[in-house]
Amino acid sequence: MTEVDELLARLRKLPAVALDSEFEALVHARARRRVRRRQAPFAPLAALALAVTVVLYLGWALHFTSALYR
């Protein structure tokens, strides 16, 4: 094993640092309350509504125009 690898292995052995249990529980509870379901994105719904409106308008315009020549 090279010196560099030994050093890396030693770094990996550094232990995790324990959190104060009271602080840990407090942060956990506080952050947990903020989790919310992702909102459905607004843009696709708006685009669909616009497209439906345009189609309905064009249909009505075609119907109205054809009625003029009857």
Partner 1 sequence: MFDRDVLTLLEQGDSRGFDLAYARYAERIFGFLLRLSGSRAVAEDLFQHTFMRLAEVGPRLRVDSDLRAWLFAVARNAFHSYARSACVRSLDMRADVEHFPASQGLGASPDAGLALDELERALARLSESDRELLLLFGVEGLSHAEVAAVLELEQVTVRKRVSRARARLAEALDGDARVVSKSTVSE
Q: Could you say which of 1, 13, 64, 70 contacts partner 1 (CB under 8 A)?
A: 13
CB neighbour list of residue 9: distance below 8 Å, 6 or more residues apart: 1
In angstroms, how far apart are the furthest CA atoms of the chain?
Answer: 95
| Residue 33 CB neighbours (<10 A) | 8
Distance CA 56, CA 27 (A): 53
- By CB under 8 A, tell whether 42 contacts partner 1: no
Which of 1, 32, 40, 69 is close enough to bind partner 1 by CB under 8 A?
32
Q: How far is the CB of 17 from partner 1 (least distance, A)?
A: 4
Residues forming the site for partner 1 (CB under 8 A) = 3-4, 7-8, 10-20, 23-24, 27-28, 30-38
